[in-house]
Structure 1
Amino acid sequence: MNVSHEFDRFRSIVGPALKSKQEEFLLLGYDNVSEEEIWQFLVKKKWRKGKNEIKLHEVIQSILSLKIGEFMNYSAVEALKEAEFTLDDDEELLELLK
């Protein structure tokens, strides 16, 4: 889900930095990470409590300093938030609680 954010005005300008970060993740073996996913991470996590006026160099710094672990932790939490868990079977529930 794409979220409109006040920093979206930088999105087209910082495209090369996002591409560079995506390629770095690819070299590390993470071939399913898109530029858009990196951008959404920054918007939703890194800049959610940021100051109102961010400068272009700060946006680029955020992109280039992003670590794969930080991104993957965020991705895992988001995937769990979207997953639907149901334990309709009492035996499954008891097994889980052992």
Structure 2
Amino acid sequence: MQQKKPIISYERIEPWLALKVKEFAKLGYPYISEDDLWNFLISFRWKRATPDHYYQQIKQIVTLTPNDYLDFASLQAQIYQVESLEEMDLDGLL
């Protein structure tokens, strides 16, 4: 019998994502948004194994580092096909 994957609600963890975004901004990464972190969690960190309990989900958010997210973002950038430099959003790099 296959075990059901826990349901994760964005609204339930959004306050924790907002706190993490503020922390990242203080550390010098103001361009990382709540949506970016949510995408990281759903498509990378929790892709294969979602924590069963709410407190486990929150613990993983609280312990998230900028390097964790930036490793994911660099992988996404390598996979994403960009036709030309005009299509790239370079404002966040300045």
TM-score scaled by structure 2? 0.74
Q: How many angstroms does 1:85 deviate by?
A: 6.8
2:57 corresponds to which residue?
A: 59
Q: 1:36-55 maps to which residues of 2 (within 5 A)?
A: 36-50=35-49, 54-55=52-53
Instruction: Specify the code of the residue in structure 2 equivalent to 1:23.
Output: K
For 2:6 and 2:74, the matched residues in 1 are separated by 25
Q: How many angstroms does 1:7 deviate by?
A: 3.7
Taking structure 1 as reference, are residues 48 and 38 closer, same or farther at Cα in structure 2, changes over 3 Å only? same
Unaligned runs of 5+ residues in structure 2 are 85-94
Unaligned runs of 5+ residues in structure 1 are 87-98
The number of aligned residues is 80
Q: Structure 1 stretches (4+) deviating beyond 6 angstroms?
A: none
1:68 aligns with 2:74: no
Larger Rg: 1
For 2:41 and 2:6, the matched residues in 1 are separated by 12
1:49-94, CA deviations, whole angstroms, 9 ceiling, x for partnerless residues?
Answer: 105x6211111111111111010011011012113479xxxxxxxx
2:30 corresponds to which residue?
A: 31
